[in-house]
Amino acid sequence: MRIKRFQGVEIPVPNGSTLTKFFFADQPQLRNAHIEAIQFYNINATPYSILSGSASVTDADASKSYLTLYQGDLQLIYQLPIVAISNIVKSTGAYVFDLPGMNDQDISWTKSYVSLPTALATTNVAYSFGIYYYM
């Protein structure tokens, strides 16, 4: 995949939160953008979030996290396991697998969210994403 444009996005999880659903904030720079791919950065890829510097969500919590994306009122993706879009693997050296394509979808960020069946074990962390897009 050729990078045309890239934007880091994060969802903070406040200290002591017992919520099981975390919504994206409005992303004005991504309004009407055609999303080519979304990448989730696990704690092994980026120990700290790309925007605020908060600790990244743990692997245990990421493994029980699911992504739901909307386009307007249409639910495009429902409960995609976040680990499915976490493609950076570190062993002796980091390498990257291909990301699933998003078919140039326009995302309604404020309706989209990450959900879990139970509250996170660790709070005061952030879900970090990389958004590959074009206008």
pLDDT above 90: residue 133: yes
Around 79, how many Cα atoms within 13 Å sit in the side-chain half-sphere?
5
The predicted-structure confidence for 94-128, as pLDDT tens digits, reads as follows 555 677 788 888 999 999 999 999 999 999 999 99
Kindly tell me the burial class for residue 126, based on how many C-beta atoms sit within 10 Å of its own C-beta (0-12, 13-18, 19 or more).
buried
pLDDT tier at 26 (50, 70, 90 boundaries)? very high
